[in-house]
Amino acid sequence: MIASSIEDVAAAANVSTATVSRAIRGLPRVSPQTRARILAIATEMGYVASSAASGLATGRTRTIGVLAPYVSRWFFSRAIEGVDLVLQQNQYNLMLINLGGYGGGRERLFEHTMLRKQIDALVVLCLALLPSELEHLHLTEIPLIAVGGPVKGFHQVCIDDYQAAKLATQHLIELGHQRIAQVLGEDKNELNFEVPKLRDKAFEETLVNSGLRFRPEWEVDGEFTVAGGVSAARRLFDAPGEQPTAIFCASDEMALGVMMEAQRRGIRVPQDLSVIGIDNHEFSAAAGLTTVAQDPVEQGRLAAEMLLNELAGKADAVRSVAAPFQLVKRGSTAAPLA
């Protein structure tokens, strides 16, 4: 009852396979009656077209690839969900290509998986690609788009990271903070991208433009993780001499780590220390973290829609779009006591 092919259906309905194909795919040139009859029979037989066969015939897989540096981090998993939302609505499949677990064979991934015509389009989640990889991708000539960060030669959906970081920094400055430290995320394993640099640059320039002193010793790496935020906070708190009254963190996960470490030491947030992040991570509201919010679900959704439009034949459907962001004030920031 399950393993039926289009021929079985055609035979059962006394029509040709071509008619079955047309009827099922909703193409014209089939009388309403025959269509109804075929559909009924197909349903009853549990017939579903083989994707391999139709893929071979059409050259389309109805599958979109999502290339991610990690899947278990907030931004990426949410962006994946956003892409998925659109794909499901359009009966497309989602092939997850995770670079995080890749042990050395990363290049093979591009030369094989990517090229096997297994996907009709690709979403690249903020990821720095090697020149050879970019070349491979462009050779496939499938629609491409980047989400969450710029990729050279790609259209992109992402916030203006410079402006976002500037907004966060300015919030601290406007509250009256003068001694502001930064926890940033550095590019460890080459999976990373330009976003950290932009946020870093914005922080420094905003500080200086406001007449404040930029202190290199108050710039520590948090690796974009909670654990990294904790250890970054330790380094700051353990340093001798003057302490910052506020910390700008390049991501909420790091900011949450900073808050946890502060709490452990009895440093009160926001009385003794203001903390601000970027992202609006799921945990941030609960933790009362002030942040510059962005919405990866929406970004993923938008990107997927553009790709599908492009696949549907709309010219230049894939464009670069600036995603919105906004300051969300919560309890972790306040004017400095002194």
Partner DNA sequence: CTGTTAGCGCGTTCAC
Partner DNA sequence: GTGAACGCGCTAACAG
Residues interacting with a second copy, by CB under 8 A? 1-2, 46, 48-53, 55-56, 61, 63, 66, 70-72, 74, 77-78, 80-81, 84-85, 88-89, 91, 93-98, 100-103, 105, 109, 111-113, 115-118, 139-141, 225-227, 229-230, 256-257, 260-261, 263-264, 282-283, 285-288, 331
Minimum CB distance to a second copy, residue 319 (Å): 24
Name the residue nearer to DNA (CB basis): 28 or 240. Answer: 28
Query: Are 303 and 122 within 8 A, CB to CB?
Result: no
| Residue 53 touches DNA, criterion: CB under 7 A | yes
- Which regions of the chain does DSSP assign to beta strands (E)? 63-68, 93-98, 121-125, 144-147, 156-158, 180-184, 219-221, 246-249, 274-279, 290-293, 321-322, 326-328
Question: What token pair was written down for 61?
Answer: 């897989």
Residues 179-197 as b/e (b if ≥16 CB within 10 A, e otherwise) read bbbbbbbebeeebbbebbb
Beta strands in 169-316 (DSSP E): 180-184, 219-221, 246-249, 274-279, 290-293
Footprint of DNA on residues 161-220 (CB under 7 A)? none
The listed partner (a second copy, DNA, none) that binds 98, CB under 5 to 8 Å by sort, is a second copy
199 backbone dihedrals φ, ψ, rounded to 5°:
-65, -40
- Whether 19 contacts 38, CB under 8 Å: yes
Q: Please choose, out of 10-18, 149-157, 201-209, 311-319, the segment that lies near DNA by the rule CB under 7 A.
A: 10-18
Interface characters, 20-39, with DNA (x: CB under 7 A):
-xx-xx--xxxxxxxx----
Work out what residue 7 binds among a second copy, DNA, none; the CB cut-off runs from 5 to 8 Å by kind: DNA
User: Whose Cβ is closer to DNA: residue 58's or residue 91's?
Assistant: 58
CB nearer DNA, residue 62 or residue 197: 62
Token readout for 235 is 């380094």
DSSP characters for 260-294?
HHHHHTT--TTTT-EEEEEE--HHHHHHT-EEEE-
122 binds, among DNA, a second copy, none (CB under 5 to 8 A by kind): none
Of the pair 71, 239, the CB lying nearest a second copy is at 71
Instruction: Pick the closer one to a second copy by CB: 214 or 237.
Output: 237
Secondary structure class of 299 (helix, strand, coil)? helix
Which CB atom, from 47 or from 248, has the smaller least distance to a second copy? Answer: 47
